Amino acid sequence: MKTINIEIGMPNPQEAMTTLNNRIYAERASGARLVKIIHGYGSTGKGGTIRKVCRQKLLEYRRRGMIKDICDGEDLTPFSEEGRRFAEKCPEIRRDSDWGMGNPGVTVVMFK
């Protein structure tokens, strides 16, 4: 699974979304099936701005048909319905280091 790290360099939300947009288009064009996005959780303890805008953007991409599905990191476990559904469609996700960790600082997307 490819990884897109949009928190490198501590960007502001706009810079992070530009990186996300460019990399999503590139990974989709390359034929990637799954991509893990590292957006971080934020330092407030409530989830950071980059995490929030990233997940909103991913929902927009799904509505537009650019991505097939989204699994938030906290659901990327065999104990959540979302995680099991993702693992059924893409068994290789079980080999990822965040599988089963409940990491809210990542989100995984599945392309069509």
pLDDT in tens, 68-87: 999 999 999 999 999 999 99
Q: Which of 46, 43, 39 is nearest to 73 (CA)?
A: 39
- Spatial distance between the Cα atoms of 65 and 71, rounded to a whole number of angstroms: 16
For helices 13-30 and 49-63, give the axis angle rounded to 10 degrees. Answer: 40
**What mean pLDDT, rounded, does the chain reach?**
93
Structure tokens belonging to residue 95: 């080999």
Domains of the chain, each with CATH number or no CATH: 2-110 (3.30.1370.110)
State yes or no: pLDDT of 107 exceeds 90. Answer: yes
Q: Where are the beta strands (DSSP E) in the chain?
A: 2-5, 34-38, 69-72, 106-110
